[in-house]
A = this chain, B = another copy of it.
C-alpha cells in the first residue's frame, strides 16, 4: 500500500471515531470523507461498506470491553469485579454515542464461541458475587443486558451530561444490586439479539 494511501486510511479512521462518538452512527459517509479531506470514493475503497468502517473504528473499544470483562473475572473480589464491569462499560457507552449502536450491531457477528465463553464467565462471576454475600440473591446475569440497554438510552444526551447521568444511574443501580432485600419482578432472559427484532 502506498504511503499516502496508508496515511489517508489512518486519518479516515480517526475522523470516523470522532464523528461516531459525537453524533452517532447516522453520520453520513460524505461528512466523514469531507472532514478527513478525502473523497467518498477513497473512503469506500478502503472500507467497502459503512458497516466495515464502523466495525474497524470500534474494534479497539470492543477489545477494551473484552479486557474489562477478563480483568473482572480475574479479580479475587467478585463483587468489585462485577461493579467494575458495569461501571466501565457504562462509561464507554456514555462517552461514545456510536458505541452502543456499534456494539449491538456487531453482536450477531462476534464469533459466537468467544461470546458464549465471556457470557459463561460472567454468569460464574455473578454466582461468586452472590456467594460472597455482596450481591443480592435474585440478581440475574440478564440484568447486565438490562443495565446496558437502559444506560444506552442516555447516549441521546449531550456528551458531558450523558457521562454524569450515566454515573448517577449506575450508582443507583449498583446500590440496589448490593443491598436488595425486597422482592423484584422476575428477571427477563434478555439477550442483545432481541434489540434487533
Complex Cα distance A177/B175, Å? 10
| Shortest distance from the beta carbon of A108 to any chain B beta carbon, whole Å | 15
| Shortest distance from the beta carbon of A150 to any chain B beta carbon, whole Å | 4
The interface residues of chain B lying within 8 Å CB-to-CB of A152 are 153, 156
8 Å CB interface, A142-186 against B: 143, 146, 149-154, 156-158, 161, 164-165, 167-169, 171-173, 175-177, 179-182, 184-186
29 contacts between A and B (CB under 8 A): A146-B154, A146-B165, A146-B169, A149-B154, A149-B165, A150-B151, A150-B153, A150-B154, A151-B153, A156-B195, A157-B194, A158-B197, A161-B188, A164-B188, A167-B185, A168-B184, A168-B185, A168-B187, A168-B188, A171-B185, A172-B172, A172-B173, A172-B177, A172-B180, A173-B173, A173-B176, A175-B176, A175-B182, A179-B181
Interface residues of A (CB under 8 A from B): 143, 146, 149-154, 156-158, 161, 164-165, 167-169, 171-173, 175-177, 179-182, 184-188, 190, 194-195, 197
